[in-house]
Homo-oligomer: A and B are copies of this chain.
Amino acid sequence: MNEMNAIKSITRHVKEDSHKMADLSLEVRNIALQAIADSLQDNQKHILEANNSDMEKAKADGLPDPIIKRLSFNQHKISDVIDGIQSLIRLEDPLFHTLLKRELDKDLVLHKVTCPIGVIGVIFESRPDALVQIATLCLKSGNCSILKGGSEAFNTNRILFEIIHKACTSSGIPEGFLTLIENRSDIDALLKCHEDIDLLIPRGSNAFVQYIMEHSKIPVMGHADGVCHIYVDKDCDIEKAIRIIIDAKTQYVAACNTLESLLIHKAVAPKLLPALKKALEDKNVLIKGSPKIIDIIQCQEAETSDWETEYLDLTLSIKTVETLDEAIAHINHYGSHHTDCIITEDRKAAEKFMLLVDSAGVYQNCSTRFADGFRYGFGAEVGISTGKLHARGPVGLEGLVTYKYRLYGRGQIVEDYATGKKSFHFKEIE
Contacts and interface: CB of A to CB of B under 8 A. Distances in A.
20 contacts: A16-B329, A19-B328, A22-B355, A22-B356, A23-B352, A104-B376, A110-B376, A198-B389, A219-B389, A244-B411, A251-B418, A252-B414, A360-B405, A364-B409, A366-B409, A366-B410, A367-B412, A369-B414, A370-B409, A392-B402
Contacts of A356: 19-20, 22-23
A324 interface: no
Contacts of A104: 370, 375-377
A408 interface: yes
Contacts of A388: 117-118, 198-199, 402
List the 5 closest A-B pairs by CB distance, nearest first.
A366-B409, A247-B413, A369-B414, A377-B426, A389-B390
A189 to B, nearest CB: 18
Given A367-B414, A414-B367, A354 B404 contact: yes
Given A117-B388, A376-B405, A247 B415 contact: yes
Contact of A366 (B19, B369, B403, B412): B412
A214 B214 contact: no
The A contact surface, by secondary structure, is mixed
Given A389-B402, A404-B392, A118 B370 contact: no
B407 A370 contact: yes
Contacts of A251: 413-415, 418
A159 interface: no
Interface string A300-343: 00000000000000000000000000001100100000000000
B217 A213 contact: yes
A240 interface: yes
Nearest to A219: B389
B389 A355 contact: no
A11 interface: no
A411 B328 contact: no
Interface in A227-249: 237, 240, 243-244, 246-248
A139 interface: no
Contacts of A261: none
A146 B412 CA distance: 38
A358 interface: yes
Given A19-B332, A358-B19, A370-B414, A393 B376 contact: no
Given A22-B356, A362-B404, A388-B402, 12 more contacts: A118-B388, A219-B219, A247-B414, A363-B407, A363-B408, A365-B409, A366-B411, A366-B412, A367-B413, A377-B424, A392-B403, A392-B405
A361 interface: yes
Given A389-B402, A392-B404, A415-B251, A377 B410 contact: no
B387 A219 contact: yes
A10 interface: no
Interface string A385-429: 001111011100000001111111111111101100000101000
A22 B359 CA distance: 12
Nearest to A255: B414
A412 B332 contact: no
A237 B411 CA distance: 9
Interface in A180-224: 198-199, 213-214, 217, 219, 221
A108 interface: yes
Given A237-B411, A355-B22, A362 B405 contact: yes
Contacts of A392: 402-405
A354 B358 CA distance: 38
A102 interface: yes
* Candidate in A18, A221, A246, A358 with the most chain B CB atoms within 10 angstroms: A358
